[in-house]
Amino acid sequence: MKMSVSQLLAIGEVQTNAKGIAWALVAVGLFSLIYLSGRLTGGVASAVQIIWLRYIGGFIIVLFILGYRKIHWSALSTKQLHVHFFRAAAGGGSGAAAIYAATHMSVVDATAIGLLDGVFTVLLGVFVLREIVSARHWMAAVTCLLGALIVVFGNGITFRLEGSISLPGYVALAGAALVAIESILIKTLARSEDILVVLFYVNFFGMVIFAFPGLWFWQDLAFEHILIFLGLGLIAIVAQACNIRAFRISDVAVIGPVRYSWIIFGGLFGALFFGEKPDVTTYIGSVFILLSGLWLATLVTRHEPVPGR
């Protein structure tokens, strides 16, 4: 039995979405380690200090790659310098917000507020990138969010923004919005820029943008801690490359909700590093997230033509 052209195209997009989701999952797992770096090191450094050192480490690695591959500087030319700048600012800001929130409030409280990034990402995909999100896309995304909520509410979270957690809570909320903005900018860059070009500018601009706040909020560090935070640059480079690949081949409506999987990674790392034991709600919520990710992979998206193109 022969399949029609539309059926073949649909199968191709399902396979593409599956690859995009796989790349996104790797990125989420790696970034989860970076977000926990402040807590893992006992809060010895400020969030912006960690982010700045991470960008310095990442930029050093990019320079090494350029030298090793003997790539000429002309290959880094771009017509979207402003997009790279704002992407670095949004990405670094969201990372600093996540580290600050996870260090100054409970991880599950910070997670609960950060869940809004998936919602913001899908909405921006609809209104900015003109992605047409079907009812089934929304159902899959909401199911994914439901799984995340099962995990956090199962841990006793009430979304309170009062007293001592007020500032960290609002910082976490701002971080969620910045994640969504960064996702749109990554998608824009992934359409036309080489991965190495994107990595060069995001780490260069991130290093420049966070130099002042990093130094202003600098806390004295032992040499080994400086090396650890510089080493985050390598993790970030790999995570950024995975993220770019994910957004290059799949729509933000598909990739955005996949970010909820960081709750699963958080649970795994919590058990591994902090001796936290997942309860039954964690397992149930994780199943919802995983099944929703599989559902998203099977859905096909369309785009409205953008005026002027």
Among 55-59, 80-84, 144-148, 238-242, the minimum mean pLDDT is found in 144-148
Longest dimension (CA), the chain: 69
Q: Rg for the chain (alpha carbons), in Å?
A: 19
Express each pLDDT in 265-289 by its tens digit. Answer: 877 777 787 776 766 776 777 777 7
pTM score of the predicted model = 0.77
Supply φ then ψ for residue 15, to 5 degrees.
Answer: -65, -40
Domain ranges of the chain: 10-303
Question: For position 66, what pLDDT does the model report?
Answer: 93
Give Cβ neighbours of residue 109 (< 8 Å, ≥ 6 apart): 101, 157, 160, 165, 169, 172
pLDDT: is 19 or 53 the higher one? Answer: 53
Question: For position 289, what pLDDT does the model report?
Answer: 72
- Give the span between the Cα atoms of 242 and 237, in whole angstroms: 9
